[in-house]
Structure formats: structure tokens, C-alpha cells
Structure 1
Amino acid sequence: MTKLRIRLRGPSLKATALGLLGAGVLALGAHAQSSSTMGMSATGASTSLETLAKDANQWVLPSGDYANWRYSRLNQINTTNVKDLQVAWTMSTGTNRGLEGQPLVVGNMMYFQTSYPNYVYAINLDNVGQIAWQFTPPANEDAPPVACCDVVNRGPAYANGKLFVDALDGTVFALDAHTGKVLWTANNGDPKQGQTVTSAPLVIGNKVFIGVSGGEYGVRGYISAFDVDSGKMLWRGYSEGPDSDMLINASTTINGATGQPVGADSSLKSWQGDQWKYGGGTTWGWYSYDPKLNLLYYGSGNPGTWNPSQRPGDNKWSMTIFARNPDTGEVKWVYQMTPHDGWDYDGVNEMVLAPLEYQGHTVPGLVHFDRNGFSYALNRETGKPLAIFKYDPSVNWATGIDPKTSTPIVDPAKMTEEGKNVTNICPASQGDKDEQPVSYDPQTKLFYAPLNHLCMSYQAFNVKYMAGFPYVGALVNMTPGPGGYRGRFIAYDPMTGQTKWENHDMFQDWGGALTTAGGVGFYGTLTGQFQAVDLRNGHILYSFKCPSGIIGNPMTYMHNGRQYVAILSGVGGWAAIGMTNNLHESTAGLGAVGLNASLNQYTNLGGALMVFALPTTVASAN
């Protein structure tokens, strides 16, 4: 039975238009793979990346591994010596906008990608003072104006001597990882239709998977699979529409909430008329993969428009966890977290694949911290819910989860509708967590989550769809949550809903988390503090003020016997859209500007890669 427990404890022209609308309305090292080791089937080829990911000296996948753990077995840096960390080297990114990604390390090479204009850098770790190569995609001035919220990018992907990067305008590039030479290009979006791309690709076998952004422009979401050798699109699965477009089999695709097949036209029946054609459900979050089950997992975002009165129904399958066969794209199961979303609670946050103890047995688990403030623990083979809890006790838009339907029990007083200003809704549209990824530590079996803590007022209004123009339909004002703080960093058990410890921050904790075998966790703050915490109790063991606020994700690697921790410093994203787009009205930036109006008193724009390590004398002693 689904459980619920409340724990009480002490962007650019059209991105600016969104704001105004809100205001008034290698050398490759020894570990790199040769082409002969990379098979062509999904299972065989992905094994090569799996093998690389098991080498803790490297960081070859955006999240460190396919399971999205963001955990490292390196332990040279530990709770005793982390206080001695020093800046080992730094590098300017040449950009001023938000940096939401993380570097990769493959052999002796580091790769990272910036916000628009999406510079890609390769650094030989034997000579960090020189850029090995740099690639800049051709500029497309149509893309920044339709980028909500900020012109971010979440990093490159690697496989078989190739680096895969996506540009803001939807162009996909395969680069020679040794030289930066373009091997092929493909198209995954059209900015004139409001489509942009900001997510990190994921490579599984002979396919590279890439989603799409643009839910605030009426973009109909999808995920695309491209051939890693040619760039040919092999399949595309949509978030809404006919079963054939979604690659849903009505008789075999399971609705995880009910345990039954979804039935014919499950999406079409949940939309009025042709609203599904611009129904959002974009796919700009993180992706994970289970090689044993051969399933790709990701979430779809909010439905368009933000005015729920214009789209009666459950609006399937926006706000949904998808489990797809990566070979064919066919959907095995779906689970919708927020039917008929009236708050912009995007469902794109990462799916972490970890073993979970359920009724005396270990089951293949999937854990998801949704924007709506609920944590979901599901059986990742079937989509069956195992445990659902509020991970922030301030959540009030829903009173709980119906144990029969596994759907939220919405408080009618917090349901938004056209022409009505609904106040004190918690969480705000930025959610109790946005895309900032959590980390799972297999030693403590806890999840370490950087979070928001926000509430809002929300006034929906009628809006007309026009391709390439904002399609929002709501005025939002966000405020700090109860207690007056905006950010939390917590250690959390999703099977009990228990928060083991928590740290509060003045602003949202918008950067991702990293855990290590040394018992240390790392994360950054919007004010630019890069922090190391004791995973047992949350005590801050180290803090360094970086040049700009942090919305990127820490990673770690070993080189020449020395462990390094790297983070991209560069404030931006939705959290700092007022700074990046020079907006000042409190409702501008989809309601985010007034919330963080004082952030510029603590940090400034700018991009830098920051790399930390212990002094050589301390490192050699460990």
C-alpha cells in the first residue's frame, strides 16, 4: 500500500518576453576504449561504458554511472582531511550565463560544455595550463530568445572515442574526442517552433538519446534516438498524442499507478480537442538506464499552458515517468505524478536506480524526487509504487496520496483556475526540487538531496498558442517557504520518508550533489559556496567561496595518484534569471525575479571551472 508521512522538523528576446509576460501578464588515456571493443547491440555496447564507469579514477557518464548515483568509490579525500582542500587549478569558461553541467574525465582527458554559445573544451590533465582543443557550434540567434529559463547546458556524453554534444538550437554534434573534429551532425529541434535543447545526452549501445526543451512555448515533448556512428535518427517517442507517436502498445504498456494496461489512445482521451499537439511534456531532465532490464528511464514536464482551465483532463502523459526499451523506443510502463497539473510541477527530475528493501525483500528500485514535493519509490521493472512521501513538510497543494489510485489528493483550495489568484501554495513552481540532481550513497543507503523551499501565489489567465511565442498563461509570485529560508540540503530515506538531517540555506540549493566513499558529500550554493559535508550528520567540513554562484554538479576523479573534485561556477538558470536577463519586476522570469532579488548582493555573473585537491603531502599520506 502506498504510504504517506509528513515529517515535522525543527531568459534573452522571448525569454525576456516570458519575464515581461510574468511581469504584466586527447590524447585519450589508457582507460579509453578502442572502437573494436564497442558492440552494436544496446546491451553489448553499453557494457563498454559500464566497464569504464567502474573505474573510479574516471567520470565517463554525466551522472557517473547509468544509475544516476553521482557516487564515487574514491576515498583519498575523507572526513578527516577534507578541511585541507585547496584550489588545484581553474579555468575561465568564457561565458556569463548559468552553468548547470559537469565535466567528464576519460583517461587523461577532461571535457566540459558551457552555456550558450555552447563552447566545448578538452583539457589534457597532464597539461592543464593549455586547452587541448575547443569546439564552438555555429551560432543560431533564433535560439536564445526562446530559451526558458536561461541558456544553460547540462554537459556532454562520451562513447567509443566520440564526444556527443547538443547545442541550444537543437543541433547534435558527434566530435572526435582526440581532435574535436566534427564527425556528424543531426537536428533535434527548431527554435522557430520554440524548441531548444539543454539536457545532457546519454549513450546506450549504438544510440545517443536526447530530449527537448520548450514547454513554456507549447512544444510537444519527445525523446530521440540517434545512431552514434552516422547521426541517423532511429526512433522518436512523444510524450502526448496517438499511441503510434508515443510508441505505446495499448495492451502491453502498463500504467504503474494501476498495474493495468493503459488501453487504446490513453493520451488522446485525456486532452480536449487538439490540445495535445502543443501540450508540453518536454524532456529536458536527466536520463538513466538499467542494463539488466534494458530499460531507459526519464520524466516528462509540465503540460502547456500553465492555465489548467484551458486543458480539462489528466493531460497524459505529461508529468510522467517513462520506462522505454532503448532498442525500439517502445514504452514498457508509465507513471504520472501530477495529473492535470495546475502549478508547473515539471516531472523531469532524475530517476535514481538503487536496490530498495520492500516487505522483507530487495527489489530493483527507482527513486524520484518530484517537483511537486513528493518522493516516489517505485519498482523499476513494473512501475509499481512502493512508498510515496512528502520530502518537505510544507507541501500543501495535496493532502496526501490516494492508496487506491496512487494519485495525489488535491486540496481544492490550492487548485488553480483561470481568473482566480490562489495564494500560499507550497511548493512554488520551481518545486521543492528542480533539475539539481541528488546523490545516492550505497554505504549509508541514503539519498542526499539539494532542494528548494518555496511557496507562491498563482493567477491563471487565458492565452493563445502561436508557434515560437510564450505559451504560459499565469502570473506567479514566489516567496521563501516557512522559516524564511529558500534552500535545504538533506539526507533522506525514501522508504520511510525520514529526513535524517538537514542544512538550511538562504537561497535555493540549485547545484547537484556528489557523495564519496570517503564519507564526504559535496554541493554548491547560489551564493557561490562550495561545501563538503560529513554524510553522517551534515556538519560542514569545508567551504570555499567560488567566483560566481553554483548551479553545476560536482564530480571527482583521480589523476597521477591524486584525487580531484571539480565544479562549474556560474550563477544562472531559473533561480537567477533576474540577474542573467536583467529583469526586475517581481513576477518576471515566471515568478522567480522577486524571490531572489537580493542575490546580486552575494554573487555576480561569470563562468569558471574550479578544481580542488588535497596538498600533495596530505594526498600522498592517504
Structure 2
Amino acid sequence: MKHVMLGVAATLLLTTAAASANESLMEVMKDPKQFGTQLGNYAGTRYSELDQITKDNVGDLRVDWTFSTGVLRGHEGAPLVIGDIMYVHAPFPNTVYALDLNDEGKIIWRYTPQQNPDVIGVMCCDTVNRGVAYGDGMIFLGQADNTLVALDAKTGEVKWQVQNGDAAKGETNTSAPFVVKDKVLIGISGGEYGVRGHMTAYNIKDGSQAWRAYSTGPDEEMLVDPEKTMVLGKPIGANSSIDSWEGDQWQIGGGTTWGWTTYDPELNLVYYGTGNPSTWNPAQRPGDNKWSMTIMARDADTGMAKWFYQKTPHDEWDYDGVNEHVLIDKEMDGQMRKLLVTFDRNGFAYTMDRESGELLVAEKYDPAVNWATEVNMDKNSDQYGRPQVVAEYSTEQNGEDVNTTGVCPAALGSKDQQPSAYSPKTGLNYVPTNHVCMDYEPFRVSYAAGQPYVGATLSMFPAPNSHGGMGNFIAWDAATGEIKWSLPEQFSVWSGALATAGDVVFYGTLEGYLKAVDATTGEELYKFKTPSGIIGNVMTYEHDGKQYVGVLSGVGGWAGIGLAAGLTNANDGLGAVGGYAALSDYTALGGQLTVFALPD
């Protein structure tokens, strides 16, 4: 059987517009034997047509080989496989390894950046890195210190490097670069330091800057046309961002871009999200704080904005809007629609028309969500598209320094950056979630470059009146906005999911289990406990006729920051240390790639 990597929607996108995208990467993405991007394809479905491992034989999986990264911090992201070489990354100091799959994983080359370790002190939530990117014979790495480097894929030689930010101002990088056409895109981290977010495109050939689009500020710096950029079907208008901030606060307004990017070659649009506004104390920044917390659709060539949608205006809970935007074609109301589906930190799952930005569905994907009752779907209302906030859970309802209790979800959201998967066979999205609530107490804070600009104290705990755990793994129907099935987990599911043509869905747990479940029913078919908690994203590839499944384990990230950084105060780690204190009873630090296969 001839396999083709990508789901039905992604295949259509890629074959009809192949000439417009990066041709070398396109060839890799067409071949399911390889794993060429962090989200599996431009559409972000994390779906593979490999089907050697099925729901009938997945129970026979065995560990085939392992590889230690030599780093004991949180390991997010996934390896790439290009041809016969696997590229494995690590958290700070951001070492990259090229492993020869034809020679028992022998190290062909390794690249270890020389970075100032002071950057660790301004990294918000562990020293994670979400992976490398590939294009035109080069591997692209975004280092913690904001250096974007292009490495020769065969030799590891540095081809060029460019500085994307200044760590002295609190700017860092944790995101994976994204290759599209003749450019490589990368965002910026640092919303907890008053960093003004931006997305920047660099020319692959020499690293020169092609465009930069800020998340906040003047129209010309945001690459916005007041008459042509649309928001829920209407022109955005002049000064849309500046008018939503008090004074010059937009200059330290956050809206950072540390999540995932997807791309529709047919529309030539890239999609990404912006993060929380700065500070976390909402009373200090009146207004909608545009365009933090926003889905942005931009022209890949110029960066000009096509449409925006702000999911959480005037964020009061740190519901960062950076999660992945999955591009699928799906029938709705009797017709096929070009959709964008995203599972936001705020606990709502959104289905949108990815060409126009029309809002089609907005529903809670965790029943515990209580900060808002619904998203207003009445197009004739001045509240259209806005969440209807419950006054009891507003964190500024009683003024500053008052603790708002029992807010669901917690600041780390019903889902953080851990990417979901989509299967065109079942028509379902598979979503790793956090089932966590919080108490949230703002306090006044002053801005100083390079210093924390948070202004809130948090504590986190499992959602009450539920299964007692802190996570669920769910199957979601994006057309109807319904949970089809839900698997409870003791801790948040902080691993990226993978769906396959073998009708198997994979994910990892914070205790360290790789799990395989039936794509239709959710029945657990297999689990294996790796040496450390899994916050990495499951991937698959084929070599010498055999399908493999790989995942990085190494507990950390926001949920595991207590273990990763040795923190013990319950309120440290922006409230996560206390909430996940029991995690140390189940796992310990590590940094290992584990690769699974069926026995011969």
C-alpha cells in the first residue's frame, strides 16, 4: 500500500499549492516514512498515514532503542526524521544531535550553542525548547538567548545566525521555528517580563529579515491595513490596538508568540496566536488590550494581516492564546468548510472559517470551565464573539489584593501548548487537557526592563466535584463542539498527541507513561513507563520497512517546574509547584528519547 503522510485536508492543501511552499520540506511531508515538522505537516494535524502499528497489534510494542540527551530539564517538542537522519534537540543549552538511523543511532554531529547561562533566570516556565525545523538542506534552531541559527543538515556547520531579541529585556525563545516558502518564521517569549510580542520572518538564504509583525501598537508596526484586515467580518479600523490600552502600555503589553504556527498553501496564510497581556494584574491595564490573546492570520510573503480574532479580551487569568491552530476540511451544515480549530487556554474550543475568520463554534471542552458562561454567538449583538464573564470569577471585581477563589481553568489553561492531533478517518480531534483550577490574587507591580512583571500570586488544584485528577485526554468533534469520549488522568496531559492510520492515538503522561488508545472508542490498548515524565510530543517514522514511534521524556515545563528547577514553595512556578507537588512521588528528572517498535 502506498502511504501518503498527512490527513485528507492537508493533502488537498499541499498538492494543489505545492509550488507556493518550501519544495524541499513539501517532499518530506509527502513521505510518511519521514517526520519533517513539529506538528507533522503544515495543517498541524499530527496525523500519519503509517499503519503498520494498528489497534490490533499495538499491545505488542516494545522498546527498540533509546538515546540520552544529557540534560535534566523539561523536554518538549519532538525529534525530526529527514531521510536516514534523526534530529534530536534538548532544553538549555539547546544541544542538537544528528543521529544515523543506518548505524544504530550513531551521532553524526552535535551542535551545542555557547550561551550566557544568565538567560535561564529570565525564562518563565522551565528551560524548554519546542524543537527544530527543516528546510532547504538546513536545520533551524531557536536558542534560548534569541539566536536563530541555520545548520547544515548533513554536517552541522553553521550557515548563518541572527539575533531575534534581547535577553536583558526579558526576551527569550522557547518556540520551534517554522519554515514556509523561502522564509523561516519565529516568535518571541517573555510576556511575564513586559515583552512586546512579535512574529518575525527571516529569509532562508542568508538570515536577513523579511518582515516583523508586532502584536500590539501602531497599525504600520502590526502590519495591519485598517480597511482590509477583518475582525469577525468587519474592518479592524485605525489604531485598533493603541486605542485599547491606557497611554503607552502597549509598549510593554505582552502578546508574545511562543506557540505554534500552521500554514495553508492555497490561501498563502500563516496562523498563530498571541499570548497574555502584561501585567497579570488586570486593574493596571484597563481596556481590551488588543491584540493580545488573538488568533492572527497573515500573508506568508508580506506578513500583512488578513484577519484577527481576540478570544479573551482584557485577560484577567493569564489565558495565553498561543495554542496550535489545526487546519481541516470538514462538513458542517451540509457543506464542506475550510476550517481552523483551536483549543484555547481559556477552556473554549473554537471552530472558524480559516479564510474569512468567521466564528462557527465556540464551546467548552472541559465541563469544569466556570470563568465564563459562553461565547456570544449573536452576530447582531455588540457582544458578538466575546466570552460572557462570570463576575464571581473576575480577578479584579473587588479591587486589587483580593483573592478570587475557585477559578476554572487555572492560568495554565484547559490546555497549554501541548499540541492536539486530528484523524481524517474518524473526523475527531484528540486533545491533551489540564483539569485544574486556581485561586488568583493580583497585586500592584512596576515595570523594569529584564525584571518579572507578573503582579499576581496563584495556587492551583484539581477541579472539584470531578474524578480527582488533574487531566483528561479527550476526543472532540469540531463541527458540533462536543466531547465524544474522555479519559481521566491523575495529572495534566502535557504531551502532544499523535493520530495514525492504524486507528491508534498516542500520548504521554506526566508520570512518564506512553499510552496508546483506540481512535474510535478511547479504549486503552498499551502503556509503557519511560524513565521520566513525558511533556514531549509523540512522533512516528518508518525505516527499513519498519514503523517506529518515538517520544522524548524529561519532566518539566510549567506543570513540572517544581521538579525541574528544584522549587518547593507552593506558590513558586507561578502557582504550579503546590498543585503538582505529588508528581515527585511518581517520576524524577530525565532526558531520554525512547523509540518503540513491534517485535520482528
Normalized against structure 1, the TM-score is what? Answer: 0.91
Q: Secondary structure at the match of 1:329?
A: coil
Within the alignment, does 1:103 sit opposite 2:117 as a pair? no
Of 296-305 and 358-367, more deviation after overlay is shown by 358-367
Matches within 5 A, 1:61-76: 61-76=37-52
Q: Quote the Cα distance in structure 2 between the aligned partners of 1:485 and 1:513.
A: 19
**Distance in structure 2 (CA, Å) of the matches to 1:392 and 1:545:** 27
**Contact persistence 2:276–2:318 (CA under 8 A):** yes
- In 1, the alpha carbon distance for the partners of 2:528 and 2:165 equals 39
Aligned partner of 1:339 in structure 2 is 313
- CA drift of 1:232 comes to 0.6
Specify the alignment match of 1:172 in structure 2.
Answer: 148
Q: Which amino acid aligns with 2:107?
A: I
The residue aligned with 2:8 is none
2-structure distance, mates of 1:532, 1:224: 37
Gaps of at least 5 residues in structure 1 are: 1-30, 32-40, 617-622
State the alpha-carbon separation in 2 of the partners of residues 558 and 545 from structure 1: 23
Contact 2:20 2:265 in 1 (8 A): no
Mapped to 2, the partners of 1:519 and 1:444 lie a distance apart of 8
C-alpha distance in 2 between matches for 1:579 and 1:560: 39
AA matched with 1:487: G
Contact 1:42/1:326 (<8 A) preserved = no
1:515 to 499, 516, 531: 499
Shift of 1:45: 4.2
Question: Moved runs in structure 1, 4+ residues, more than 6 A?
Answer: none
Q: Distance in 2 between matches of 1:98 and 1:126?
A: 29
CA apart distance, 1:47 = 4.0
1:82 aligns with 2:64: no
Secondary structure, counterpart of 2:579 in structure 1:
coil
Query: Contact 1:321–1:335 (CA<8 Å) still a contact in 2?
Result: yes
Q: 2: CA distance between counterparts of 1:142 and 1:441?
A: 42
Distance 2:117 2:82 in 1: 32
Aligned to 2:302: 328
**Would you say the 8 A contact 2:533–2:587 is kept in 1?**
yes
CA contact (8 A) 1:43 1:294 kept: no
Task: Give 3-state SS (helix, strand or coil) of 1:543's partner.
Answer: strand
What aligned pairs does 1:55-66 form with structure 2 within 5 A after superposition? 55-66=31-42
* 1:504 and 2:478 matched: no
CA distance in 2, matches of 1:271, 1:129: 53
> In 2, Cα distance between the equivalents of 1:358 and 1:279?
37
CA apart distance, 1:587 = 1.2
Q: Secondary structure at the match of 2:341?
A: strand
Task: Give the distance between the partners of 1:299 and 1:121, measured in 2 at CA.
Answer: 29
Matched-pair contact (CA < 8 Å) for 1:510–1:550: yes
Q: TM-score, normalised by structure 2?
A: 0.95
Match of 2:425 in 1: 443
Q: How much does 1:586 deviate?
A: 1.3
Distance in 2, Cα, partners of 1:498 & 1:519:
20
Paired AA for residue 427 in structure 1? P
Greater shift after overlay, 266-275 or 125-134? 125-134
Match of 2:406 in 1: 424
Count residues with an aligned counterpart.
Answer: 575
Q: 1:495 maps to which residue?
A: 479
Name the CA distance, whole Å, in 2 between partners of 1:273 and 1:116. Answer: 37
Q: Which residue of 1 aligns with 2:206?
A: 230
Q: Is the 8 A contact 1:42 1:205 kept in 2?
A: no
The residue that corresponds to 2:374 in the other structure is: 400
Amino acid at match of 1:513: A
Q: Which moved more, 1:276-285 or 1:45-54?
A: 45-54
Q: Within 2, Cα distance between the matches of 1:461 and 1:202?
A: 37
1:531-550 aligned at under 5 Å gives the runs: 531-550=515-534
* Post-superposition offset of 1:46: 2.2
CA shift at 1:217, angstroms? 0.5
Asked if the contact 1:50/1:66 (under 8 Å) is kept, the reply is: no
Distance 1:387 1:452 in 2: 21
Is 1:298 aligned with 2:272? yes
Q: Deviations over 1:294-314 (max 9, x none)?
A: 000000000000000000000
The alignment status of 1:144 with 2:93, answered yes or no, reads no
TM alignment of 1:251-330, pairs within 5 A = 251-256=227-232, 259-330=233-304
CA RMSD of aligned residues (A): 1.2
Partner residue, 1:559: 543
Contact 1:208 1:226 in 2 (8 A): yes
Note the alpha carbon deviations across 1:149-186, whole angstroms, 9 max, x for none: 00000000001111101110000110000000000000
Residues 18 and 26 in structure 2, CA contact (< 8 A), matched pair in contact too:
no
Task: Name 2:569's counterpart in structure 1.
Answer: 585
Please list the CA deviations of residues 486-518 of structure 1 after superposition, one character each: whole Å capped at 9, or x if unmatched: 010011112212211111111100010000000
